[in-house]
Amino acid sequence: MAREVSESCIDSLLTEMVSSYCNRFDANKPELAGRRIEAIGYQVGHQLAERYTMERPRFSDHLEAIKFICKDFWSEVFKKQIDNLKTNHRGTFVLQDNKFRWLARMSVDPSIENVDLSQDTSALAENKATQAMGMHLYFPCGIIRGALSNLGIPCAVSADISNLPACSFVVRIKA
Amino acid sequence: MANYLAQFQTIKNYCDQIVIAVEDVSDLWPNIKDRFEEQLPFKRACLNNKTRNLVFVDNLPAEFILTTDARLRSRFPQEQSLFWFREPYATVVLVTCEDLEEFKTILKPRLRLIVQNDEREWFIVFVSRAHPSNDNATKMAKKVYAKLEAEFSSKKRERCCKFDIHGPEANFWEDLESKIMECVKNTLDRRVQFYEDEIRKLSEQRFMPVWNFCNFFVLKESLAFMFEMAHLHEDALREYDELELCYLETVNTGGKQREFGGLDSGDDQAALLNIGNKPLTQIVQDDSFREFEFRQYLFACQSKLLFKLNRPFEVVSRGYPFVISFSKALILHESTLPFCLREVWVISACLALINATSSHYNDGLVASDIEKEFYRLQGDLYSLCRVKFMRLAYLIGYGMDIERSPVNSASLSMLPWPKPAVWPSLPADASSQVLDKEKVILQATPRSKHFGIQRKSLPLEPSVLLREANRRRASLSAGNMFEMFDSRPSLIDGSTPDASPSTSPLQKAKTFSMPRTNSSPGNFDGSMDRPMRLAEIYVAAEHALKRTISNADLWKSLSSLEEFEQKYLELTKGAADNYHHSWWKRHGVVLDGEIAAVCFRHGNFDLAAKSYEKVCALYAGEGWQELLADVLPNLAECQKMLNDQAGYLSSCVRLLSLDKGLFSTKERQAFQAEVVRLAHSEMKDPVPLDVSSLITFSGNLGPPLELCDGDPGTLSVTVWSGFPDDITLDSLSLTLMATFNADEGAKALRSSTATVLKPGRNTITLALPPQKPGSYVLGVLTGQIGQLRFRSHSFSKGGPADSDDFMSYEKPTRPILKVFKPRPLVDLTAAVSSALLINETQWVGIIVRPIDYSLKGAVLHIDTGPGLKIEESHVIEMESCANVSQSAADISNVNGTQKDCTLAANKEPEQLSLDDGRIEFSDWASDVNSVLWIPVLAISDTLPKGSSSVNPQKQSIVDGMRTIALKLEFGASHNQIFEKTIAVHFTDPFHVSTRVADKCNDGTLLLQVILHSQVKASLTIYDAWLELQDGFVHTGKGNGRPTSSFFPLVISPTSKAGILFSICLGKMIGEDELEARKPETESILNIRYGISGERTIGAHPPVAVESVRPEVAGQDLIFKSALVLQRPVLDPCLAVGFLPLPSTGLRVGQLVTMKWRIERLKGFGDDEISEQSGEVLYEVSANSENWMIAGRKRGHVSLSTNQGSRIVISILCVPLVAGYVRPPRLGLPNVDESNISNNPPGPHLVCVMPPVLSSSFCIPA
Amino acid sequence: MIACVAVIGHQNNPLYIQSFTEADDALKLHHIVHCSLDVVEERVNNPKKSGPTLNETFLGLLYPTENYKVYGYLTNTKVKFILVTTDLDVRDADVRNFFRRFHAAYVDAVSNPFHVPGKKITSKTFAERVSNIVKSFGLSSAG
C-alpha cells in the first residue's frame, strides 16, 4: 500500500516548487508566495496526519500531539526524530531539528556568495541567503500546521534558522 | 431441602431485625426492660462485612427477647442451622447477688451452666440494687462484682459489666452497646463463615445431577437476608448478583426442558420491582424456578437493596439492560406466550422502572455526569416503551396515524413482528368491528406531503403485515401464500399502507400486491382458509391483545385513537424531556419533531413550528441535508398556516438551497412558485430575506475594471442563481466596499430595471457612477422580488478554485474595480510658436494630445480673445499627427513634426465645422495625437510705422499677441473638462526702416528702405512704390517705383532687404494753400508681396477665403507702412557744433561740461528768423535715466544777428550709468530744423566709464 | 448484515454515508447514524466512563438496542466512522478489523490532492473499496 518516492525527487520537487512560486507566479510579492507554499504544506500535513495517526489511540492533550509530531510523524517524514523539544507550558513549543533534512544539502546562491567583499554586502548577502532559506521553510511549517490543525490544534508555526543546518520550528497554539 | 421454601418464605416475612437474647437469671428484666429497650436501635454498630472489613452501621435495629420466649424455643437443630440468621446474635445474662456466699454456692454454678455451650455469644450484666446512700450494701455489691469478674472475665475478653439500678454509671450504656456489638459481630462472622462453607459445598457439585438450585438459593438468600438484617446491604446485593449469575448459568446450561412461565393472568404486567408478586413456592419447579418469575424476583430484590442504598440511578442502569435481555428471553418463548405478551411486558416494565426510579430520585445528590446518564436511561426506557406501544397500536390498526418519520421507521421497521405460534384468528362475533375497521381504512388517506413532494414514505413495518399474519396462520402453513408473496420481493419494502382488498383506490395504485390479492379470492373464498383481510387482522389482533393485557389503563390507551395519541404523546414527551436533560440532545430534538407532528395534526401549529424549528436547526447546523429535506417542508407548512411570511419565505429559500438532488425539479419549482407568489401577494410590509445560500455573485474573472478619477463606467458581475426557473428581480443593487478604508462606505449600484436571472450563471451589468480613487471589492447584493427584499452576502468562487482554498477556507475577495488618482488626461498646445501674419486669415494649429485616455466624442469650445476672429465661413481642418509629442514649441521639433505630420497625415485632413464655438471631434482622433487647424484673422487697424535708422524703435511684441481660450469636454459623459488659453503671435510681414543713403549735389536723395522679414516664411516682393509726403518728389517725375527694379525680390525668413528710392525735395507749399488742404506729413510705402510658408511652421499664405479681396491675384498681398522723411538742410542759417569732450573721458558720477557752439551762418533777410532779434531759444534734451543735467535746460541766449557771430552754450551734467549712452542734445525749438546744420555733428553715443573705486563715492565722508 | 456505514466529519457533518438495504429507506439509517453521534459525544466528553478503552479509536458498541447494533470509531482527527448492522451476534474482532480497513480506505480517499478537506467524499474508488470491505465483513478476521 505504501508507495515510496526517492528522496532526491522530493528534494528537487520542493526546490522547484519554491523557485517557481518565488520567481514565476508571485515573483514580486514574496509574502504571497510564502503563503501559497505554506498552504500546500498545510494540505500535505493535513493528509499525512490523517495517515500517520491510524492505529493509534487518540491524544488526550496538546503535548501528546506535539510529541507525536516530534517522534513518529517526524521520523515518518524525515527518517529522524526532532532532537529537542521545549515548551513554556503556555501553548508555545519549540521543535529543534539539529540537522534538518531539507536544509542539509542546500547551498546559498553563488552569485550572492562571491560578492561578500565588504562587510555590508556580505551582511546583505547573508540576509538574502536567509531569505532564500526562509522560502524553503514555509513548506515544512505548513506541514506542521496542517498536521496539528487536523489533530484539532489550531496554531501558528514559524521557523528559525539562526545556526544552520539546525532548524527550529516555533509552534504557537491559538488559545 | 426445597420443602423448606415455604417456611423460609414465612420466616423471612416476620423476622426483619437481629435478635438479642436475654437470659434473665434473677428476674430483673421486667424492671429494667424499658430502660434497655430505649437504647434501641443501636446508635453505632461496627460489623465485619463479607470480606472481613469493618463497616460502621448507624441505627442498627434490634430487639431483646427473653430466652424463655416461645419464638426461641423448639427448633430442630438443622433448621436452626439453615435459618440461622433468625437466631439471637447475642445473649445478655442478667444477674444480681447480695452476698458472696450466695454467689459462690448458687449463682456461680448456674452461670457456668448457662454459658457452657459456647455456641452463643454471651456476657453478664451484674445489676446492683444497692442504694448509693447505703454504703455497706454498695461495698458488698462491689465485692460480689469483683468476684464475678474474676470468675468470668478473661484477659482477652471482658464479659462483665455492672448496672446500678439507681443511677447507672455514665459510660454504662456505651459499655453495654459495645459489648452487645462485639457479640453480634462475632456471631455474624461465625454464621457468614458457616453459610459460605455450605454454599461452597453446594456449588462444588454444581454440575452434578443432584444439583438443586433451590437449596443453593435458600442458602444464598439466607446469607443475603442476614446481611440485609445487619444492614450490610452491599453484601446482600452482592449475594443476589451472584445468585443471578448462577441462575442464568443453570438456566442456559440446564439441558432439560423447563417451563418458562409467564402464562398466568397478570403476567403481562412486569413484576420486576415487586418482590411479593408471587410466592416462591408457586414458581418453583422440581429443582429450580421458572425463569419468567424468578428473574423478575431477583431483580426486585436487587432493586430493593439499591433503593435502600439510595442508588436509584443504579436501578435504572441495571434495569434497562435487564428489560432488553429479558425481552430477548421472551422472544425465545414467544410461541408459548400469549399474543404480544412480550411487548406488553416491556411496556409495563419500562413504566414501572421509570416511576419507581424517578420517585426515588432527587436531583443534585449525584455527580452531574451520573445524573445525565440517569436521565438518558430514563429516556431510553421511555422510547423503548414508546416503540412497543406503537407496535401494538399498529397491530390493531392505528398505523395510519403513526408518523412515518425516520425515527419511527428506524425503530419499527427493523423490529420483527411478534411471532406467535398461531396468529390470532377472527372471533366469531367480530364482523361488525371488521366493518368499522374497514370503514376507517377506507376513509384514511395517507398524509400527503406539502408542496406536492413525492416521497416513498418510510416503512413502519419489517414486512407487510398482511402477509406475515396470513403466513402465521396454522391453517395456511403450507398454503401457496408463500410463493405468492415471495415471488414479489418488491413487497418487502413497506409500501404504505398494507395491501389489502379494502385499500382505497389511491393506495391500489401504489401497492403491487393488489392484483394478486384481488385475483386470489378465487382460490380462497368460501374456505375458512381464506387469507384474512387487513381489517380482520386488526380486529383479531385487538381481541388477542384484549386477552393479553390485564392492565386496564394500558388497554384504555389502546381502545381509541384519541387515547392512543394521548399515550403516544405522553411517552414521546417523557423520552424527549429526559433526553434533553442528558447528553443525548439529538435524540431529544428528534423526538420533539415527533411531538410537533402530532401538534401539527391537531392544528397546534405554533407549538409544531417551534419544535420543527429546533429540529431543522439541528440538521442544518450539522449539514444533514437529507434529514433536513424531510422535516423542512413540515416547518414551512406550519409557518404558512401561521401566516408567518418571513419564516415561510426563508424556509422556501432554504428548501431551494438544499442539494439539488434532494428534490425533483418539479418540487423545487413549486418552492420557487411559492416564493414568487408570496412576494407579489398581499404582504403588508416588505419582508427582508437572506438568500445568500441561493443567489451568489462574484466579479468576472480577469483584471479588475480600471477607471480614471471621476469617470463613470459599467460593472459586469456574475450572479449564480440557485432557482430552478428564471426568476425576475424587480430591482437589484450591489454595494462596493472600498478596500483601503471600510468606513469610507459601501456604495450601492442599483439597476432599477427588472432583471431576469436564469438558473445557474448570469452576467449582469450595472451602471457605475464616478467613484473616489481607490480599489473596491464587492459587498452585498440586495434586491427586490415584489414585496420581498432579499440580500445575499456570499461570494461564489469564480470558475476554478484557486489554491487559496487550502490556506484558509474563506476566499480573499478580489478587487473588482480600481479608480485611479486624478492625472492629466489630455494636453492642448499651439502647433506653431512663430508669428503669423496679421490682418490676414491664417491657420492656427492646436495640437490635441490625449494622454492614454480616449477623447471619444470630445467637444472643443473655442473662444477667441479681442482683436481675433475666427473665419466662421471657412471649415476647420483636423488631421492626425503621429508624434507631436514633446513641446511643440521648439522649432526643430516642429520641423520634425511637420514631416511626421505629413507622414501621418497621409489621409486627407478631415473637415470639421464650427458651430457657435463648438467643435466635435471625430472618432479617429479619439486616441491619436491630432492637430486642429482653425482659420483666424487677427485685426489691427493701426498702420505700421517705419522707423528712421537714426533712432530705430521696435514695436513691441505685445501688440501682436492674440489669445484663444480653449475648453475641451471629453470622457464618457463629457464629465472631464480641460481648459487652456493659448497665445498666438501675429505680426506684419516686414518692419520697415529708412535712411538717407546719399545726397547728391543736384539735391537728389537716395532713400534706402530696409525691410526686415518678421515671419518664418520666405517673402517675395513683387512690387513696391512710395507715395511721398509733401516737400518731396520723385526724381524724374517717376511713379514712385524704386530706381532700379529687380523684382521679384525674395526675402528669406528673418533676413533683411533694402530698396532704394531716388527722391528730391519739392517746393514747399505756400501759406495760402496751407489752409486749402492739410499737407501730407508722412509718406506711405506700398509693397505688393507674396508669401510662401507652411502653416505648420508659421506665417503662410492666407487661407483662401472666397470673396475676400478677389483682385489680389492668388498670393499677392499688399503691405503698407508709413514713413516720415525729413527735408535735408540746404542753406542753414545756424550751425550747432558739439565741442569735443575732455580727453579724460566720462565717468559715472563725474561732472562733465557739455559744450555746444552756435554759429550764425547767414545774415538777415531770411524771413523765418527776421522777427527774432538776436535772441535764440535753446533746449537741452537728455534721457533723464542716463544724465543728470545741472543748470538751465532751456533758455534764451543772445546771438547778434550779423553773420559769423557765435556763442557757446555749456551745460554741466553728470552721467549716471556706465556704458554707451546717447549724449544730451541741444535743440533750437524756434528754428526750423531745415535751417540748422550740425557741424560737427554730435556723437550718437558716448562711452561712460564705471566709477573708479577710489572715487569719492567710496571715501567715507 | 451491514445496513449502513458512514463517515462523519469533525463538525458532525456527514462526509460519506452509504446504506446497504435494498429498500429505499436510507433516511431512517441517516437518522440512526445521526443520533449515534450523541453516544460518540457522550463517550468523548466524559471519558472516565469508557474506562480501559480510554482514547482508543474503536468506541465499540454504541447502541444496545434489541433490533440493530451501532458501532463507532473515532479517529485522532475527530472523524467518526459509524457502522449499523442488523445481525445481533457480531464478533468484536470483526468490527475492529472492519474499521481498520475502512479507516485505511478513508485515509487514501482524503489523501487525494483533489479532495477538499471537510467536503463530502465523492470518489468512486472509495465507494467501491467500501462496498468490498462491507461484503467481506465477518468473513475473515485477517485484515
Q: Where are the domains of chain C?
A: 2-135
Class of the C2-135 domain? Answer: alpha beta
Measured between beta carbons, the chain A residues lying within 8 angstroms of B801 are none
Q: Do A57 and C56 touch (CB under 8 A)?
A: yes
A51 touches chain C (CB under 8 A): yes
In whole angstroms, what is the distance from residue B89 CA to residue B111 CA?
19
C121 touches chain A (CB under 8 A): no
Measured between beta carbons, the chain A residues lying within 8 angstroms of B804 are 36, 39
Q: Do C75 and A50 touch (CB under 8 A)?
A: yes
Measured between beta carbons, the chain A residues lying within 8 angstroms of C77 are 49-50, 53, 150-152
**pTM, whole model, 2 decimals?**
0.72
- DSSP E strand boundaries for B593-694: 687-690
List chain A domain ranges: 7-173
In whole angstroms, what is the distance from residue A33 CA to residue A39 CA?
10
All residue ranges of chain A with pLDDT < 50 are: 1, 112-117
A48 touches chain B (CB under 8 A): no
Q: Would the CA dihedral through B720, B722, B725, B726 be positive or negative?
A: negative
**Of A32, A57, A65, A39, nearest in space to A151 by CA:** A65
**What are the grid coordinates assigned to B1227, written together?**
535743440
Those chains having 3 or more beta-carbon pairs within 8 angstroms of chain A are B, C
Distance from CA of C119 to the nearest CA of A (A): 14
- Reply yes or no on whether the pLDDT at C10 is more than 80: yes
DSSP letter at B915 equals B
In whole angstroms, what is the distance from residue B192 CA to residue B189 CA?
5
Q: Do B413 and C11 touch (CB under 8 A)?
A: no
User: Cis omega (within 30 of 0) on the bond before B822?
Assistant: no
Query: Residue B1250, CB half-sphere, CA atoms under 13 Å: how many?
Result: 2
DSSP helix/strand/coil, B283: helix
Distance from CA of B372 to the nearest CA of C (A): 10
Higher-pLDDT residue of C98 and B751 is C98
- Please tell me the predicted confidence (pLDDT) of residue A124: 60
Measured between beta carbons, the chain B residues lying within 8 angstroms of A40 are 803, 806
User: Cis omega (within 30 of 0) on the bond before B406?
Assistant: no
Q: Report the chain A residue with the minimal C-alpha distance to residue B807.
A: A39
Strand partners, B91: B21, B122
- Please tell me the predicted confidence (pLDDT) of residue B1173: 60
**Of B721, B722, B704, nearest in space to B713 by CA:** B704
Q: Beginning with the edge strand found earlier in the chain, give each strand of the sheet holding B122-128 in spatial order.
A: B62-66, B18-24, B88-95, B122-128, B160-164
Question: B738-754 in b/e burial notation, b at 16+ Cβ within 10 A?
Answer: beeeeeeeebebebeee
Q: For chains B and C, what is the number of CB pairs under 8 angstroms? A: 97
**Of A75, A42, A54, nearest in space to C105 by CA:** A54
- Please tell me the predicted confidence (pLDDT) of residue C52: 56
Distance from CA of B696 to the nearest CA of A (A): 26
> Which CATH architecture does the domain made up of A7-173 adopt?
2-Layer Sandwich (3.30)
Residue A79: how many CB atoms within 10 A of its CB?
9
Pairing mode, strands B930-938 and B868-870: antiparallel
Q: Do A40 and B804 touch (CB under 8 A)?
A: no
Distance from CA of B694 to the nearest CA of A (A): 29
Q: Do B806 and A40 touch (CB under 8 A)?
A: yes
Higher-pLDDT residue of C99 and B1230 is C99
Measured between beta carbons, the chain C residues lying within 8 angstroms of B415 are 66-67
ipTM: 0.87
Measured between beta carbons, the chain C residues lying within 8 angstroms of B623 are 11, 13-14
Query: Residue B87, CB half-sphere, CA atoms under 13 Å: how many?
Result: 22
Could you list the mean pLDDT of each consecutive 10-residue stretch along chain B, which spans 1261 residues?
70 79 82 82 80 82 82 62 77 82 81 75 82 78 82 80 78 83 86 86 78 81 85 87 84 69 80 80 77 88 88 88 88 86 91 88 74 89 92 88 87 86 82 84 74 80 83 58 41 40 39 38 46 85 87 88 91 93 90 91 89 91 88 89 86 86 86 85 76 78 74 80 84 77 64 79 80 78 82 59 39 68 80 81 84 80 83 78 47 41 53 79 78 83 70 61 85 79 84 77 78 82 80 71 72 81 69 53 81 78 57 64 68 76 78 83 54 72 83 80 80 84 80 69 78 53 43
C86 touches chain B (CB under 8 A): yes
DSSP helix/strand/coil, B32: helix
- Please tell me the predicted confidence (pLDDT) of residue B364: 63
Nearest CB to C116: which of B619, B626, B805? Answer: B805
- Please tell me the predicted confidence (pLDDT) of residue B685: 73
Measured between beta carbons, the chain B residues lying within 8 angstroms of A43 are 806
Measured between beta carbons, the chain B residues lying within 8 angstroms of C118 are 809
- Please tell me the predicted confidence (pLDDT) of residue B576: 93
Strand partners, B1195: B1178
Those chains having 3 or more beta-carbon pairs within 8 angstroms of chain B are A, C
Query: Residue B512, CB half-sphere, CA atoms under 13 Å: how many?
Result: 14
- Please tell me the predicted confidence (pLDDT) of residue C5: 92
Cβ-contact A174, A154 below 8 angstroms: yes
Q: Do B806 and A35 touch (CB under 8 A)?
A: no
Q: Do B804 and A39 touch (CB under 8 A)?
A: yes
C55 touches chain A (CB under 8 A): yes
SS (H, E, C) B325-372: HHHHHHHHCCCCCCCCHHHHHHHHHHHHHHHHHHHHCCCCCCCHHHHH
Q: Do B626 and C30 touch (CB under 8 A)?
A: yes
**Of B410, B425, B821, B796, nearest in space to B593 by CA:** B410
Q: Report the chain A residue with the minimal C-alpha distance to residue C118.
A: A150
**Of B419, B446, B437, nearest in space to B505 by CA:** B446
User: Cis omega (within 30 of 0) on the bond before B1243?
Assistant: no
**Of B617, B616, B608, nearest in space to B644 by CA:** B608
